[in-house]
Structure 1
Amino acid sequence: LESLGIEIIKTKNDNGKVSLKDLMRILGEEKNIDSIYVEGGASLHASLLKERLVNKALIYIAPKIFGGFKAKSPIGGEGIKEPENALKLSDGSITKIDEDLFLEYYIDYK
């Protein structure tokens, strides 16, 4: 990848996983990047929310119902069990794209 001009940033935390806080610090302070788009899986989304490294959620909803005990979820990790502890979304907008809905909201960590 480096031979193609791609810069690789290596960070890890005490568990041997990517240190998201260090990565964001490097991107911001050393690379002058002030905004990134993350499209990941449930574990990455949960980790970013837990570390409070996300300020906006871009959510696509299709008019389909599926699920079950083993269904994938957009947010993994321990989750939030009580509704009163749920992260709130604010200052948002909803756009209809064909049959789908696109939601753009800020995350309120209060």
Structure 2
Amino acid sequence: MDFPIRSAQGDDGTAVMSVLGEIDFSNSDEVAQGIRDAVAQDSPEQIRIDLSDATFIDSTGLGALIEGYRAATEAGCRFVVTNPSDNFRRVLAVTGLIELFGMTDDAQAANLSRATGS
């Protein structure tokens, strides 16, 4: 099985976590752990979860994102979701997670990082 999340450190202290394919019961633990590891190891000011390559999410996948959000906020790190498809956007809106996480596209996220210094 391929690892469902790829991590990169931005020049501005932002950790970018790119979700690849599906986030479901088969890999939600790896997604949550990947986010927790990035928070613990990199101590970023912001974590951006890039959903541009994500194709599906179920309730356990949403739980993994919530776990990642909790880890980030407990460490004083801003958590933002970027580039969701229309389907992802609907799921995040219906569940109220857009308001909890915050959501931007890549250009908005980069501008926000520069403007806030995070």
TM-score, normalised by the number of residues in structure 2: 0.32
TM-score, normalised by the number of residues in structure 1: 0.33
Structure with bigger strand share is 2
Which of the two has higher C-alpha Rg? 1
